[in-house]
């Protein structure tokens, strides 16, 4: 009985130590989680200090102010150009009136001269 028991024990040990086929690992599924954002270290090169942020905000406000000032200057120039155009139109109308009055005077004078001659 001892021989049978020892034989079974030897068979179990030999079967446990036999060559086994390697288990194939599926690499298609990575264990990395998928995030829609990335973590950023606050001490990295991309981090900005409060002083830099304030400078950016100040320059942005200055930029906005300069845009407003430029818009005001353009509006002023446009207004001046319109006033000049109106004055030029008035002068042209006055010149046309004077020219038409002179023509009327010349025609009336010529008609008076013709009536005197007859």
Mean pLDDT across the stretch 6-25?
74
- What's the half-sphere exposure (Cβ side, CA atoms, 13 Å) at 73? 6
Instruction: Give the model confidence (pLDDT) of 24-64 as tens digits.
Output: 666 666 566 666 665 665 565 666 677 777 787 777 888 88
Q: Looking at the whole model, is its pTM more than 0.85?
A: no
Q: Which residue has the higher pLDDT, 105 or 56?
A: 105
Higher-pLDDT residue of 99, 19? 99
Alpha helices in 1-118 (DSSP H): 2-16, 50-117
* pLDDT tens-digit series, residues 62-86: 888 888 999 999 999 999 999 999 9
């Amino acid at each position: 009985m001892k021989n049978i028991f020892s034989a079974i024990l030897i068979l179990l040990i030999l079967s446990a130590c036999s060559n086994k086929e390697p288990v194939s690992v599926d690499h298609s599924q990575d264990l990395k989680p998928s995030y829609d954002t990335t973590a950023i270290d606050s001490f990295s090169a991309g981090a900005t200090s409060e002083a830099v942020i304030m400078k950016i905000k100040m320059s942005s406000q200055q930029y906005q102010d300069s845009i407003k000032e430029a818009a005001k200057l353009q509006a002023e120039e446009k207004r001046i150009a319109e006033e000049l155009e109106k004055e030029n139109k008035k002068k042209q109308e006055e010149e046309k009136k004077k020219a038409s009055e002179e023509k009327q005077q010349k025609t009336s004078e010529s008609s008076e001269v013709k009536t005197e001659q007859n």
